[in-house]
Amino acid sequence: MLHIQDTLISLDLFEQYFCCDLAGCKGSCCVEGDSGAPLEEEEEEALKAVLPQIWDDLSAQARAVIEQQGVATTDSEGERVTNLVGKKDCVFTCYDEKGVCYCAVEKAWREGRSTFIKPISCHLYPVRVKQYANYKAVNYQEWSICASGKVLGRKVGLPLYQFLKEPLIRKFGQDWYNELCEAASLWRKTGGRL
């Protein structure tokens, strides 16, 4: 583990290679799992605000869930998470003609229809952040649905912390990320020892 500011970071961020491979996984991370995407306090309101821009991109089933239950719910661990359609798809999923799942919120952001990219837990995936009393734990969540992302990451030589540069800066700030890069450089120079 590595300590930077108020975070404890798994060395997996340096050791693992990763690059999302939508052609290989078909966006499974938006579909698989026990509950929806974890939300930070202000993100639920941001998702409500973006609904008019993405409404037509959502399935009829997703719109019905949102109308009846809202954009979020509390899961079995007491966390606020996005709602699901049929205990499977996040309510914000949409599909292309090839059956690849996309985030409707991110799609709207990429098309300039929204200023909110997506929940930070989604942006950081496959890294998860867990808040404890005095620190945040930053860990890689290895999951079989992301196997093609690991293969592609190794093929292009992209360490996980570099793949996640934008969301890590969004979550922790540029100074934090600079410290992470310095630690990664030292880690490489010392052959994986800090």
45-83 pLDDT, tens digit per residue, is 999 999 999 999 999 999 999 999 999 999 988 899 999
CA end-to-end distance (rounded Å), the chain? 9
Nearest to 87 by CA among 34, 39, 37, 47: 34
Residues 6+ apart with CB under 8 A from 132: none
Look at the chain and report how many structural domains it folds into.
Answer: 2
Whether 67 and 37 map to the same domain: the answer is yes
Whether 106 and 183 map to the same domain: the answer is no
Give the type of residue at 83. Answer: N
3 state SS of 193: coil
Contact 25, 145 (CB under 8 A): yes
Each residue's pLDDT tens digit, 121-166: 999 999 999 989 899 999 999 888 889 889 999 999 999 999 999 9
Map tokens 């997506």 to a residue. 118
Tell which of 117, 139, 165 closes a domain. Answer: 117
Contact 118, 107 (CB under 8 A): no
Whether 190 and 112 map to the same domain: the answer is no
Q: Which domain holds residue 1?
A: 1-18+126-194
Q: pTM (2 decimals)?
A: 0.90
Whether 43 and 113 map to the same domain: the answer is yes
Tell which of 84, 117, 150 closes a domain. Answer: 117
Nearest to 29 by CA among 108, 113, 101: 101
- Give the C-alpha separation, 36 to 88, whole Å: 8
- Give the C-alpha separation, 75 to 81, whole Å: 7
**DSSP letter string, 29-72:** GGT-SSS--B--TTHHHHHHHHHHHHGGGS-HHHHHHHHHH-SE
Each residue's pLDDT tens digit, 5-32: 999 999 999 999 999 888 888 777 777 8
Whether 106 and 29 map to the same domain: the answer is yes
- Give the C-alpha separation, 148 to 184, whole Å: 24
What tokens does 171 get?
A: 């979550």
At 1, is the pLDDT very low, low, confident or very high (cuts 50, 70, 90)? confident
Tell which of 117, 134, 168 closes a domain. Answer: 117
CA distances (Å), 127 to each of 49, 60, 160, 161, in order? 26, 31, 9, 9
Whether 5 and 69 map to the same domain: the answer is no
